[in-house]
Structures are given as structure tokens and as C-alpha cells.
Amino acid sequence: MSRGRFITLEGGEGVGKSTQAKALAEALRQRGLDVLVTREPGGSEGAERIRELLLAGADERWGTRAETLLFAAARADHVQKTIAPALESGRWVICDRFTDSSLAYQGGAGGLGIETVRAINVAAVADFFPERTLVLTLDEGGERARARDSGESDRIGGRSDDYHRKVDAAFRIIAAEEPERVQLVDACGAAEQVTQRLLDAIADLLP
Ligand code: TYD
């Protein structure tokens, strides 16, 4: 049996990633593929526990280094317990956020630097990187997230507009650095249109 493909969805707050992860999985299932949808932080029992530590409480609860290491610890568990076994059994895996979120949030916006965060993640998961990363982009992303969360953002979603602008800028830098793996996908328009754009961006991977 051949190994499944590992695809991640990325982007700032409120760009519709979770909805699109489900829709993309459904479109792939209609093509006969066995698909697992998972998310970060979380996706395994231990990582879901770390998620609570990361997203609840005051912003000052963790410094950027501790925060980065917690995301990396959650990711190591998620890869070992959930993602790698699924891929080995031939399933495709669509993950809502992965290492690129750490590069953009903790590295780009949090000030640790993309390279330092990359090194921490190599320590956590070695060379376990997605085959394709689709970054959903939406200019008014911040507005949508605020509307969705109605003033109840989590520890990280609730950070300043400046922080979130730096996140968006970092995703664009990452996409420019690795154009084959990382592709920007316009998240404007009807959900079905966005799903079609995502499918187009992985067309070369489809059987
Ligand atoms: P979540 O509720 O899943 O947000 P969203 O719907 O925007 O994906 O919360 C995840 C939050 O954690 C989000 O603000 C992004 C942030 N995050 C990081 O800062 N670094 C990371 O490595 C990951 C995976 C997420």
C-alpha cells in the first residue's frame, strides 16, 4: 500500500481554514481517497492537553520561547501518535495548521525569528514537513475573526492588529522562500470557489 499524502492549511485568523479543511477532505473522499482531517495545536490526546495550556489564560502566561516549545511538544506528539501512523496506513492527512504557523506566529510576529523557530521544530519532528501547504489569504481576515469570536478571542487570536499583520507578512515570506511546497490561495468568494482553488493547488498530487 502506498503512503498517503500530507497537506496542511495555513493562514491568519478567520480565513475559513477549518471549513475548508472539511470541504477539501470531502472532495478528496469523492475521488475515492481515505482522508483524515486533524488540527493544531491538538490532534492527539497529549497535544489537546497542551492546547489548553497554550490558548487559555492571559497573554503573559508564556513567553515566546516557552510558547514555541509547547507548540513543538504538541506537534511531536501529534506526528507520532496521529499523523505518521495515518500516512503509513495509506490515508491522506489534511492538517489545519502545522509548523508554518509556528514560523509565522512565534517566529515572524513573536520576534523569535523564523530560523530559530525552524530549528526548534527540527528538534521536535526532524524533517517531517508537509508535501503541500496552502496558505489561505484574506485581506479582511482580522475583521472576520473578530466577528466570529465576538470579543472572546483566545490567548493568541486576541493579540494586536500589528501582531496579526506580522503573521500575514511572515506567511508571505515563507511562501516566497518555498514556492513549490507553499502556495498562497485566495480565500475570497463563495466557499465552493475556495475549495476548487485548493483542489487546483494540489492537482499534481492527486492520483
Ligand atoms: P484556533 O482556535 O485553532 O485558531 P484558528 O481557528 O485561527 O486556527 O487556535 C489556534 C491559535 O494558535 C491561532 O491563534 C494560531 C495559534 N498558533 C500559533 O501561534 N502557533 C502554532 O504553531 C499553531 C499551530 C497555532
- pLDDT tens by residue, 61-83: 999 999 999 999 999 999 999 99
Give the pLDDT of residue 37. Answer: 98
Q: Please give the number of the atom of ligand 1 that sits closest to the Cα of 40.
A: 24
Q: Any alpha helices (H) in 103-160, and if so which ranges?
A: 114-125, 141-149
| Best of 82, 95, 105 for a ligand 1 pocket test (most atoms within 8 Å of beta carbon) | 105
This prediction's pTM? 0.95
Instruction: Report whether pLDDT(14) > 90.
Output: no
Mean pLDDT of 109-130: 98
Q: For residue 85, which phi and psi values (nearest 5 degrees)?
A: -60, -35
More confident residue, 86 or 153: 86
CATH topology for the 6-198 domain: Rossmann fold (3.40.50)
Give the pLDDT of residue 153. Answer: 84
Residue 46: strand, helix, or coil = helix
Q: For residue 6, which phi and psi values (nearest 5 degrees)?
A: -115, 115
Measured CA to CA, the distance from residue 121 to residue 141 in angstroms comes to 27
More confident residue, 30 or 143: 30
Q: How far apart are the first and last CA of the chain?
A: 14
Q: Tell me the average pLDDT of the chain.
A: 94
Question: 105: Cβ below 6 Å to ligand 1?
Answer: yes
- Give ∠ CA 51-38-56 in degrees, rounded to 5: 15
CA 183 to the chain's CA centroid: 13
Measured CA to CA, the distance from residue 135 to residue 138 in angstroms comes to 10
Contact (Cβ atoms closer than 8 angstroms) between residue 6 and residue 83? yes
The alpha carbon of 188 and the centre of ligand 1 are apart by a number of angstroms equal to 20
